[in-house]
Structure formats: structure tokens, C-alpha cells
Structure 1
Amino acid sequence: MPLILCIETSSTNCSVAIASDSATTSNTYGAAMVLDILEDNSDSYNHGEKLHVFIDEITTRNGYVMGDYDAIAVSSGPGSYTGLRIGVSAAKGLSFALDVPLIAIDTLKALSTINKIDSEYTAAFLDARRMEVYASIFDRSGKRVLESQPVVVEDDSFIRFRESGTISYIGTGIEKTRELLNIEQQYITEVNPTAAALCALAIDGYKKSDTVDVAYFEPNYLKEFKIGG
């Protein structure tokens, strides 16, 4: 049974989870294969101070040592430049030091998997400042039908999906676009990216040997760095 440390820092939420295929789904998010999770959402972006403390704490309180992990999984973006840089740097360092595989998981794909609203499409939105969001859309089977991209939202954005079937929205980019897109409240799940959403995808990636080269892997920033991002 693989044991995987999952790291999510692409937003204000500094989140660490342990993935195991023997875990139940009794966690807050209803996400699968989450053995334990530790996170803190703060606008101060103290990820650099919190992340390694969280990793040590969640490992110790579950009776493990770092050498027990079979792999490290990390949210690969899009999202906050600073947050992604901190999380990916930590994941790469641990993967190298422990000599275990590194699994990179698309942030919007992971976010879409914890959508519990029954709809034809799931739109995963992350706030990207002003009226822009990082967006990706998935069909009912989980297949991506709109690639991750930064979008300046207008009233006709995503119109072909909105008109062709029910669409639900998950993420931090919803509230500022809700009125413009005429999104009904019952189709909204406002939640930050979380390490809980990485767990099942991490287990699946490990079993399929879907890993990345530690030396060359970089996050998917989607946009150039701006101060405060």
C-alpha cells in the first residue's frame, strides 16, 4: 500500500495531506484516500514558515517517519507564483533527499474532483486578480474539455458550455464572476485548493508510474510573475 505525502500551496491555503489507498473518506471534503490532513488558510501567505512545520507534524502524529513515504505529490499549478514556488521547491527537495518519485498534479484537475454537485460540466476557477481567473472545464466523466488558461471573464465567457448543459463551479474565482456569468447559487462551491483533492490522484499516479523528473520539473504558472502574486 503506497503512502504518499501531498503538498498544496497554490493559493492562500497551506495544505498537507497523507494519501493511502486504505484510508476512508470521512474527511471534511469527502475526498478519497485521505489518511490525514493539516492546513491553514491565511491571506498572509506564510507558506514558507508553515509548510515544513506541517509536514513534520502530520508525519509524526500518524506515527511515521519521513522515510516511510513512497512518493511525494505536489500541486503543480496554476495558482499563486509564490505559493507554487514554495510548494514545488519543498516537494523536489524531499523527493531528492528521500530518493522517492515526484508526482505532479494539475491544481484545477484536483479541485474539480471534489465537486459534489451533479452537473454536465464542472468549471474549476481560481482567482487570478482583477476580473481574471485561471479556468479549466471538465465533463461528467472527468475528461478535460477546456485546457487550463487565464481568462478575463466577460458575460459571454464559456458560453458554449453554459448553453449546452448544466455547469457547476468550484474554486476561489467564482464570487467575483458570479453576477457577470449569472451563476445560480446552488451550482457554486467556494473552496480553496486542498491537499485532500490530491490524494486519490496521487495514488493513481503512483500506481501508473506517472511521475516527473525532479531535476527539470517546474510549476505551471500560466502567467509571468508579478509582485504580490
Structure 2
Amino acid sequence: MATILQLETATQVCSAAISINGETVALKEQMASNIHAGSLTLFIQDVMDTAGLRFSDLDAVAVSKGPGSYTGLRIGVSTAKGLCFALDLPLIGIDTLQMMSAGFLATQEDYTGLICAMIDARRMEVFTALFDTQLDYIGNTEAKIIDEHSFADELNASCITFIGDGALKCAAVIQHANASFSEQNFNSAANMSKLALKAYKNAEFEDVAYFEPFYLKDFVLTTPKKKV
């Protein structure tokens, strides 16, 4: 039996879940800006209590590894690594875009098209990747500036559902009969349960000492225009 604590902080959603054998048994999450640092450990304790578990009952910690928000990813990964160090547990890194696609497929059992997961990277840029219904990658994960020609070849060949907080802003630009857009948010720790179980069974663990989030783009520090 695999009991896994799961953390998702790659976007504005702060989320913690417990899965047992690939099934989510407890979930605590909230969507709000800048709450991850103050809320994540509280959410972890909440799901542990809800599931009736002690930390010694855990078999692994899984964390959404990106791409996504630089600050959010730092908080999630550092928390996960701290728990793994303290409890001597293996660490599982879950691709954020793949996790989102898994959540979408869980709501669409008969879906036969492609899934394009998108995380807002400001303006018309998104972090994105295409997946088939087996959650295999179609091409590479990339930071992409969206215009009217984006995904033209793929849309001519297949239906694509665009998901994530970066998808809706692209709806007015990507106008194609084979394109559809989901308003549902799939950035939830609950959506990594089956992916985390698969990784656990295959012993696909990260090096706790050296693991870093998948930022995709370098962090750029900007200077506020408004002087205080």
C-alpha cells in the first residue's frame, strides 16, 4: 500500500492531498495570490488529520515540479524536500502540465482528442505542452507566445482541448473548429494521485539533495516603477 502526500503550488492554487494506492482520500486547497508560504504547511496538517494519518505513515512525498510560478514552485519544492529529509522519505516530482491533463481526462472518459495544458506566463505567453489520451507528450514543453497560427498543424489534424489558466486568454486568438477551451481549473494535488503511484511503483524518485523545480525560463528580477 502506498500512502503519498501530494503538494501543488505551481500556480495561484495552493493544494495538498493524500492518496492511498492512487486514490485521493483527503484534499485541502485554495486559489488566491501569495498564500502559499503561509498556508501550505497548514493545508498539509489538515489533510493528514482528515486522513487520520501520522507523518510516519507516509511512504513518499510528491510535488508538482513545474513549469509555473517561480515563487510558488520554490515554496512547494522546498517544503517537500524538507519533509523528505526529516522523515527519510523518497521524493517524487510530477510534471505540472501532465498533472493538469490527467485531471482533465478524469472528467472526460470518452475523450479522443489531444490536450493542451497551459499556464499563464503573462501577456500572450504561456508554458505549454501537448498530450494524448495516454498522457504521452506530443512534442516538447515550451514557453510559447500565442498568435493566430499557434498549433495550426495540430488543429488541422486533431481536436484539441486547451486547459489551464493560460488557455482562456488564448481563446480569442486561436479560432479553429477543432479547438475547444475548458474553464475548469485542474491545478490540484488531487490530480497527481495516479501519476504519483506509478512513479512510486517504478521507483522514479528525485535526488532530494539536488532536485530543483522545472522553471522553464530563468527568473528575472524587475524593479518596481513606482517609487516609495
TM-score (norm 1): 0.90
- Is 1:103 equivalent to 2:84 in the alignment? no
- Is 1:122 equivalent to 2:115 in the alignment? yes
Contact 1:132 1:152 survives alignment (8 Å): yes
- 1:167-210 CA distance string (max 9 Å, x none): 11111111111010016798322314110111110111101101
Q: Which has the higher contact order (CA 8 A, sep 6+)?
A: 1
- 1:108-149 CA distance string (max 9 Å, x none): 011111224424211001111010000100123221012111
- In the TM superposition, what are the counterparts of 1:22-171 in structure 2 within 5 Å? 33-42=23-32, 44-115=33-104, 116-117=107-108, 118-171=111-164
- Superposed CA RMSD: 1.7
Q: 1:51 to 1:156 in 2, by over 3 A?
A: same
Contact 2:158 2:178 survives alignment (8 Å): no
- In the TM superposition, what are the counterparts of 1:152-191 in structure 2 within 5 Å? 152-182=145-175, 187-190=180-183, 191=185
Contact 1:119 1:168 survives alignment (8 Å): no
How much identity, in percent, do the aligned residues show? Answer: 40
Specify every segment of 5 or more residues in structure 1 that has no aligned partner in the other structure, as ranges. Answer: 22-31
**CA–CA separation in structure 2 for the residues paired with 1:189 and 1:56:** 32
- Is 1:224 equivalent to 2:218 in the alignment? yes
Q: What SS does the corresponding residue of 1:113 show, helix, strand or coil? A: helix
**CA–CA separation in structure 2 for the residues paired with 1:193 and 1:91:** 17
TM-score (norm 2): 0.91
Match of 1:28 in 2: none
Count of residues paired in the alignment: 217
Task: Give runs of ≥4 in structure 1 deviating > 6 Å.
Answer: none
Specify every segment of 5 or more residues in structure 2 that has no aligned partner in the other structure, as ranges. Answer: 223-228
**CA–CA separation in structure 1 for the residues paired with 2:28 and 2:141:** 27
Letter in 1 for 2:44: I
- 1:82-124 CA distance string (max 9 Å, x none): 0000000000000111001000000001111122442421100
